Structure 1
Amino acid sequence: MATAARTSLLTPAFVALAAVDLLYFTAAGIMLAATPLFTRDVLGAGNAGVGVVVGAFGVTTLLTRPFAGRATDRRGRRGLLVVGAGAMCVLTLAHLLVDSVPALVALRLLLGVAEALFIVAGFAALADLAPPGRSGEALSLNSLALYLGIALGPGLGQILIEAAGFAAAWVAAAALFGVSAVVILALVPETLEEPEDATPSALVSRAALWPAFLLFAGVAATGGFLGFGVLHAREVGLAAWGLAPLVFGATVVTLRIAFATLADRTEPMRLAAVALLLDAAGLVVMGAVASPVGVLLGALLLGIGSAFLTPAVFAAVFSRVAPAQRGSAAATTSVLIDLGLSGGPLVVGLVAAGIGLGPALVAIAALPLAVGGIALARQAGRKEAVRTAP
């Protein structure tokens, strides 16, 4: 059990957790690219069907997160990480047996449970490993693995699919999930300190709700892009459709390296609000400029917003809760992430069925635009209240 105060961020445990995330999210990147294409090209579904398949993942993730948060606060982070990664491995291999949309939806529902366990435990472990006042920096650096995986995974998926079909993509992703579980067992220690009392953590952390709602708005925008970006890129003539997620992920990685400490040095909620406005701009450009240039420029802007949004939100969240409540706070925040990841593709898919993918991406930009504007107004109001207070 970890008990000593940490002063160094780049500890062996922190590096090992980052390696696990790189493996895990490279596999997830393969799945992000392969799933919508498999649903359309092999199973014959339309845009609405693709939206249901991609969005189904978030339903069980949403239901599982609060209980995963309570479990990780009471029983530890490491066990849930192993179970989540191992289950992802097995369920990804099961894609080899899928021959219908309902069967794929069922698998996606089970994948959502496994994802919930892994992500909640991972966020809590990351907060445990961060020195005081450096949670934003810790998330910025750790998330490099996540976005490298999302950047590299779709391109790897395209190579595998074109060379050997979807089976090769499923097997490769499953292998990466399996290796990540092995690395956890070998190198990632338990990070949870003994809780101060036996009181169960809350299923919903009230302190996390408003910051998490900002993250929801941004993730819905990103989810719409991740669910349909490669399809939209193909429609507008971008032959190397893997470039769209590559530009997005590379932008996030570059900016999180260059500005790793920004969320800890500024007002995190204001930074999150500005990031939402950039997300909205990215979707508008991507959907309105129906060309490869429009797709890549939109992915760039969306990447800039995403680079700053998540560290800012988690810096705000973890500054508001005690260590023994981090699992609950991470669960509450990730529930809103799930709503965005599932709702974004679902809305884009349903709207695209009527008006096309480009206009649908523009339509969903209204969410981060509205929420970002409200957040900026709230921050300005609080600043004025402080200035005029006696």
Structure 2
Amino acid sequence: MVGIERSILPALAQEEFHLAERTAILSFIAVFGVTKAVANYFAGRFSDRWGRKPVLVAGWLVALPTPFLIMAAPSWEWVVAANVFLGISQGLTWSTAVIMKIDLAGARNRGLAMGINEFAGYFAVALAALATGWIAATYALRPEPFYLGVAFAMTGLLLSIIAVRETSGHASLEAEDRQANGSPVGTPGAREVFGRVTWNDPNLASVTQAGLVNNLNDGMAWGLFPLLFAAAGHGLAAIGALAALYPGVWGLGQLLTGALSDKIGRKWLIASGMWVQAAGIALTAVATGGAGFAAGAVLLGAGTAMVYPTLLAAIGDVAHPSWRASAVGVYRLWRDLGYAFGAILGGVVADHLGLRGAVALVAALTFISGTIVALRMQETLRRK
């Protein structure tokens, strides 16, 4: 669903709705980020209270209007409204999918499970971006590319209803095992969990700020990279291919990096991954042609693959099973607010300093985030 938007919504904003200011173009990402962030938080709380599967099914029901709203949109405000539905859906479905896989995998294979999970999502983003770029170049920006969205939403809903089983019992069993092994008992309240994940616990807080900055640069890449590629003279098909390269490397790489974090630990994979991201974004800021853009996308994808599943695995390492879903919800609240911050910051800076100036600023922020992890975070992987 997100991949459909990555290659063509910025072009749709310029060509069909005649938006010129980057801040206005990126408004759909800001709205998506805020609604997804809030939905993430409630997905965690609801999953702890009512179970995982009902939240997952509800999320796919909310997804259904999204492609129809964009296909029928008479104004840009309809596209923004469609991203409210998409953000809520993503928050409920993706948070619940993550929580369920953490439930099922157990401590030993948590990084591997997160790598497989994130591979599935972001390789699909790459394929959808590539497909919609080709469809838009062959037919039109609307409605043909969004037929895929209808199929995706219906498939996700049916699979969730028919094939998925509740997993909260696995978390309860893990909590009992920890209690039997002397782990502290007691479930903190919502305010305490929020404080721990946001700032009080140095490990959880380091993970949270890295997640926020990761999605800040992803929001910038989503909104500004297609405009940067177009300004360099690339057509829709080429933009779709370049937009697919970054999440493609990201998705495939996570099959290796998630399992690697189970072997070597979380901290330095996260810190170095943020630095590799920064290098890829900086290269994109100074590149002038397709080869430079492609190299920047590969570096950004590789760095994100190092970071993304490892952050979730680290949350699972630290948070007790009795409040882990809530911790994941708070982490993903802050992480996906990064989309909004990236869209707003990228749009404002691009309108004043140009596209390349905005991209360079985000590269600097990403490097600083990796340094915070290196200085504040301790290793969270428990080795027997």
Question: Normalized against structure 1, the TM-score is what?
Answer: 0.85
Deviation at residue 284 of structure 1 after TM alignment: 0.6
Residue 344 in structure 1 maps to residue 342 in structure 2? yes
Residue 97 in structure 1 maps to residue 95 in structure 2? no
| Bigger Cα displacement from structure 2, 277-286 vs 85-94 | 85-94
Deviation at residue 260 of structure 1 after TM alignment: 3.8
Distance 2:350 2:325 in 1: 37
SS at match of 1:308: helix
Deviation at residue 246 of structure 1 after TM alignment: 2.4
Q: Is the 8 A contact 2:246 2:300 kept in 1?
A: yes
Instruction: Output one character per residue of 1:226-246: Cα deviation in whole Å (capped at 9) or x when no partner.
Output: 222222112213341122222
Distance 1:145 1:345 in 2: 25
Deviation at residue 257 of structure 1 after TM alignment: 2.7
Q: Is the 8 A contact 2:122 2:247 kept in 1?
A: yes
2:97 matched to which residue of 1? 122
Distance 1:59 1:377 in 2: 29
Distance 1:148 1:254 in 2: 6
Equivalent residue for 1:167, pick from 143, 150, 154: 143
Q: How many percent identity over aligned positions?
A: 25
SS at match of 2:225: helix
Q: 1:1-390 maps to which residues of 2 (within 5 A)? A: 27-46=1-20, 47-165=22-140, 166-193=142-169, 202=190, 204-205=193-194, 206-207=196-197, 208-239=204-235, 240-378=238-376
Distance 2:279 2:79 in 1: 33
Distance 2:187 2:256 in 1: 41
Distance 2:113 2:129 in 1: 25
Question: Which amino acid in 1 is paired with 2:143?
Answer: A
Distance 2:90 2:296 in 1: 28
SS at match of 1:133: coil
Q: Is the 8 A contact 1:74 1:200 kept in 2?
A: no
Distance 2:267 2:188 in 1: 28
| Bigger Cα displacement from structure 2, 82-91 vs 144-153 | 82-91
Instruction: Output one character per residue of 1:266-301: Cα deviation in whole Å (capped at 9) or x when no partner.
Output: 231221111111111111100112221221111011
Instruction: Output one character per residue of 1:148-176: Cα deviation in whole Å (capped at 9) or x when no partner.
Output: 11111111111222333211122221221
Cα 1:141–1:201 shift into 2, 3 Å: farther
1:19 matched to which residue of 2? none
Cα 1:123–1:254 shift into 2, 3 Å: closer
SS at match of 1:322: coil
Q: Which runs of 5+ in 1 are unaligned?
A: 1-26, 384-390
Question: Which amino acid in 2 is paired with 1:241?
Answer: I
Instruction: Output one character per residue of 1:241-270: Cα deviation in whole Å (capped at 9) or x when no partner.
Output: 122222212322332233441111223122
SS at match of 1:242: helix
Distance 1:29 1:310 in 2: 17
Instruction: Output one character per residue of 1:116-151: Cα deviation in whole Å (capped at 9) or x when no partner.
Output: 111221111111111322211111112111121111
Q: Is the 8 A contact 1:209 1:332 kept in 2?
A: no
Question: Which amino acid in 2 is paired with 1:164?
Answer: Y
SS at match of 1:319: helix
Question: Which amino acid in 2 is paired with 1:162?
Answer: A
Question: Which amino acid in 2 is paired with 1:230?
Answer: P
Deviation at residue 200 of structure 1 after TM alignment: 8.2
Distance 2:5 2:299 in 1: 23
SS at match of 1:324: coil
Deviation at residue 199 of structure 1 after TM alignment: 6.5
SS at match of 1:68: helix
Distance 1:201 1:146 in 2: 31
Distance 1:290 1:360 in 2: 16
Deviation at residue 336 of structure 1 after TM alignment: 1.9
Distance 1:210 1:155 in 2: 34
Instruction: Output one character per residue of 1:299-347: Cα deviation in whole Å (capped at 9) or x when no partner.
Output: 0110111011012211211011122322211111111221112211221
Q: Is the 8 A contact 2:44 2:95 kept in 1?
A: yes
Question: Which amino acid in 2 is paired with 1:318?
Answer: G
| Bigger Cα displacement from structure 2, 53-62 vs 177-186 | 53-62
Q: Is the 8 A contact 2:270 2:311 kept in 1?
A: yes
Cα 1:224–1:180 shift into 2, 3 Å: same
Q: Is the 8 A contact 2:133 2:241 kept in 1?
A: no
Q: Is the 8 A contact 2:107 2:317 kept in 1?
A: no
Cα 1:315–1:199 shift into 2, 3 Å: closer
| Bigger Cα displacement from structure 2, 277-286 vs 111-120 | 111-120
Question: Which amino acid in 2 is paired with 1:128?
Answer: D
Q: Is the 8 A contact 1:222 1:302 kept in 2?
A: no
Q: Is the 8 A contact 2:65 2:85 kept in 1?
A: no
Deviation at residue 92 of structure 1 after TM alignment: 2.2
Deviation at residue 180 of structure 1 after TM alignment: 1.2
2:200 matched to which residue of 1? none
SS at match of 1:323: coil
Deviation at residue 201 of structure 1 after TM alignment: 5.7
